[in-house]
Chain A
């Protein structure tokens, strides 16, 4: 049985999910669309969760009232974010925890490394947290000589398989059982492993047990921070969270500043919504709450790293602020008809799907990921399922106008047929006679492309994007307004 070899990592391990490097969504999506196995895996996973979720939501007669309450709680938290963060800090510190603040990813990574060095920690066990992927923590720690052991089953699959997460709750949903078997057999040296999920899970259980009992330092994220008590809440299914929260000596929790809730009692709303939205269960198997340090029980050194990394900037914007209400349930991506076809990697971001489409460009201060706000047909399914009522389409539209305003300043815009076409269309729509003239010209011009059956099979330029998979009815001989004008004349 081979010991896990430390991987030598290239500078940008998460290049696929780095918005600064990832190709634009249409390009990235095209690659995925040609992968039937991945599309099947994604659709299957989504169908399972959505069916379960649908049943439980239908059974919860106060579902809409809960959503309303959750939205109000999250709004209240954001409207007084400074007070609640200070309150959390005070209470957590009084209970024996240490609270640190990191303005950006660089600071957070440096801070965590310093804490690990204080402990002489050469190894850490880790609970899955997207926040750590956001700041690219793992490759940084590995380069700095700290071995990182992911303990979530999905995260082990990804880590051992050198893959990237594609969903924020079920990160390996794009990988099927035989692919997992292959990864485990290869990396854990288990040649005779079958692809039965039960056997695969047992393999992971055994592989991790020794690590839980031996490694004294752990890193986690958090689902919620409770301002009123200084408490931290972690919601999970597998129990690896509880292992990491209970057995080590030192616990470091990295969490976005927006995750704070005002009161302990707010959990009565949030927890009812979270599990139903995320995994289609009434409640997830294990929820842990702890406050600072409890002598004799769990880590005796507890650090919280509060991460900004662009969140306080988002708070400033009236329409976009609601993005920060997110509780990372992933219901939006499960409901999204775009995500269903492309999976998560196409978004080139740690946070994929509808929430990723609004969060990532903003975290990047609109300097990268400008294709993401357009990765949506604006169908509104995400808003319908969001437990905290983030109006994602509203934010998408706001971000699109910011992207266009950036484009307006670039000289290259005059070569963009879409941009030109829309600018010209606006001029045409300003005057009825312009619009009518354009219709007549279009009708004449398109005759070239219109076949005998009255349909257009192929168009150049932007039109070609339509006709690559769809025919287009040729322009009728008479527009509606021409028909009406004629009818009016006839009746006179």
Chain B
């Protein structure tokens, strides 16, 4: 099984450990992973802020980069949602027939990480060991755009030593929303404050999710307030085994 990793612009810059964890995990599962250093961004930030022409050029670049790839794995549900929900409209408005065709052919081969593991590899037990109390934050794109359903829970359920706890009001947005977090910083912070009340009440050591965007928003506030909880991308938990425990950066 071959797969190409689309790390996403913000993971590349801010969360390389997530990419390292994805590499470790997939290679452990026998996937031949490659990575193109020509990748940059999927265009979500621009599309969601109203810069459609700019988003189009990034989207086109993405398609051209991966059009001959067997499979693309993306450790970010919001980026996959961008590709699934908005690329078509952008290409209809601004693209050529050939671009639309190439995209249509590529789309079924793009997977968010938990989708890749559960649907493509057909596994939920990936051999992980992580003896900690963990709360899972269901990011909005994962829930409502990708309909990930119970995939993350199935994966977490098979992690040895892991105690999974529920976050109340799990489906409620954390308030990140991309550029919303700065364009409407105060409202974003109010939503975050409400979310943290729920997350903290779960009394977990670690809050995990499939999106570092939500985690950096919640984790940033928890760090500011000296809350005794840390954030980790799900890939980093799944990468841990008895012999290869968590790498403290």
Same complex origin of A and B? yes
Residues of A within 8 A of B (CB): 25-26, 29-30, 33, 39, 337-338, 340-342, 373-381, 383-384, 397, 399-405, 418, 422-423, 425-426, 428-432, 435, 439, 442, 455, 457, 462-463, 465-466, 468-473, 475-476, 478-485
17 A-B residue pairings within 8 Å (CB atoms): A26-B187, A29-B186, A337-B172, A338-B187, A340-B191, A373-B50, A376-B177, A377-B176, A380-B141, A418-B182, A422-B45, A422-B46, A430-B58, A439-B13, A468-B185, A479-B12, A480-B15
Most buried by B among A340, A405, A418, A470: A470
Is B118 positioned at the interface, with any CB of A under 8 Å from its CB?
Answer: no
* In the bound complex, CA of A37 to CA of B9 (Å): 41
Q: Say which residue of A25, A399, A463, A480 sits within 8 Å of B16 (CB atoms).
A: A480
Contact A483-B19, Cβ < 8 Å, known A378-B177, A425-B46, A472-B220: yes
Assembly CA distance A341 to B12 (angstroms): 33
Q: Assess the A404–B185 pair: CB atoms within 8 A.
A: no
The answer to whether A377 touches B173 (Cβ under 8 A) is yes
Instruction: State the majority secondary structure of interface residues on B.
Output: helix
Question: Residues of A contacting B181 with CB < 8 Å?
Answer: 465-466
**Bound CA span A397–B40, Å:** 22
Q: Which 7 A-B pairs have the closest CB atoms?
A: A377-B177, A400-B50, A470-B220, A404-B50, A379-B173, A480-B19, A480-B16
| CB of B154 within 8 Å of the partner chain | no
Q: How far is the CB of A366 from chain B (nearest CB, A)?
A: 12
Q: Say yes or no: B183 contacts A418, CB within 8 Å.
A: yes
Complex-state Cα separation, A471 to B223, whole angstroms: 6
Q: Measured between alpha carbons, how far is A383 from B81 in the docked complex, in Å?
A: 15
Assess whether B164 is interfacial by the CB under 8 Å rule: no
| Least CB distance, A133 to chain B, in whole angstroms | 24
Partner of B50 from the list A403, A429, A469 (CB cut-off 8 Å) is A403
A463 vs B220: C-alpha distance when bound (angstroms): 13
Q: Is B153 an interface residue (CB 8 A)?
A: no
Residues of A within 8 A of B183 (CB): 26, 374, 418, 465
- Report whether A379 and B223 are in contact in the complex, using a CB–CB cutoff of 8 Å: no
* Interchain nearest-CB distance for A23 vs B (Å): 13
Measured between alpha carbons, how far is A485 from B19 in the docked complex, in Å?
13
Chain B interface size band reads 35 or more
Asked if B37 CB lies within 8 Å of chain A CBs, one says yes
8 additional contacts, CB 8 Å, given A378-B180, A403-B50, A418-B183? Answer: A33-B187, A337-B172, A338-B191, A399-B50, A404-B50, A432-B37, A457-B224, A480-B19
Using A29-B186, A379-B173 as known contacts, say yes or no to A400 and B49 having CB atoms under 8 A apart: yes
Q: For the complex, what is the distance from the CA of A39 to the CA of B194, rounded to whole Å?
A: 11
Considering only CB atoms, which chain B residue lies closest to A27 in the complex? B186
With the chains together, A342 CA to B184 CA distance in Å? 12
Q: A30-B186, A337-B175, A418-B182 are in contact. Are A432 and B38 (CB under 8 A)?
A: yes
What is the minimal beta-carbon distance from A139 to any residue of chain B, in angstroms? Answer: 30
B200 within 8 Å of A (CB atoms): no
**Which residues on the B side are within 8 Å of A429 (C-beta)?**
9, 40-41, 43, 58, 61
Contact with A along B186-217 (1 / 0, CB 8 A): 11111110100000000000000000000011
CB contacts (< 8 Å) of B185 on chain A: these are 26, 465-466, 468-469
Interface centre among B43, B184, B189 (most CB of A within 10 A): B184
Taking the complex as formed, is B171 at the interface, i.e. its CB lies under 8 A from any CB of chain A?
A: yes
Q: How far is the CB of A40 from chain B (nearest CB, A)?
A: 12
A379 and B37 contact, CB distance less than 8 A: no
Chain B residue contacts of A422, Cβ below 8 A: 45-46, 49, 51, 54, 179
Within 8 A of A (CB), among B10-49: 11-20, 23, 35, 37-41, 43, 45-49
Q: Mark B208-245, 1 if CB is under 8 A from A, else 0.
A: 00000000110111011000000000000000000000
